[in-house]
Amino acid sequence: DAKTTQPNSMESNEEEPVHLPCNHSTISGTDYIHWYRQLPSQGPEYVIHGLTSNVNNRMASLAIAEDRKSSTLILHRATLRDAAVYYCIPGWGNTPLVFGKGTRLSVIA
Amino acid sequence: GAGVSQSPSNKVTEKGKDVELRCDPISGHTALYWYRQSLGQGLEFLIYFQGNSAPDKSGLPSDRFSAERTGGSVSTLTIQRTQQEDSAVYLCASSPVWGGSGNYEQYFGPGTRLTVT
Q: What is the pLDDT of residues A9-30, one digit of tens each?
A: 999 999 999 999 999 998 888 8
- Which pLDDT band, with edges at 50, 70 and 90, does A93 fall under? low
Report the C-alpha gap between B35 and B31 in whole angstroms: 13
- pLDDT tens for residues B83-105? 999 999 999 999 987 555 456 78
Q: Is A82 helix (H, G, I), strand (E, B) or coil?
A: helix
Evaluated on CA atoms B113, A100, B41, B106, the torsion sign reads positive
| Chain B contact set for A49 (CB, 8 A) | 103, 105
* A97 in contact with chain B, both atoms CB, cutoff 8 A: yes
- How far apart, in Å, do the first and last CA atoms of chain B sit? 37
C-beta separation of A51 from A92 below 8 A: no
Among candidates B90, B87, B108, which has minimal Cα distance to B8? B90
Question: Residue B1 has what pLDDT?
Answer: 58
Q: Which of A 22-81 lie inside 8 A of B, CB atoms? A: 32, 34, 38, 42-46, 49, 51
Question: Residue B104 has what pLDDT?
Answer: 74
Report the residue of B41, B97, B105, B112 to disrupt the A interface, i.e. the one with the largest count of A CBs within 10 Å: B105
- Which pLDDT band, with edges at 50, 70 and 90, does A104 fall under? very high
What does the longest C-alpha to C-alpha distance in chain A come to? 40
- pLDDT tens for residues B22-62? 999 999 898 999 999 998 678 999 999 988 888 888 899 99
**What integer best gives the mean pLDDT of chain B?**
91
Say if residue A44 is exposed, middle or buried (CB neighbours under 10 Å; 0-12, 13-18, 19+): buried
Q: Is B84 helix (H, G, I), strand (E, B) or coil?
A: helix
Report the C-alpha gap between A71 and A57 in whole angstroms: 16
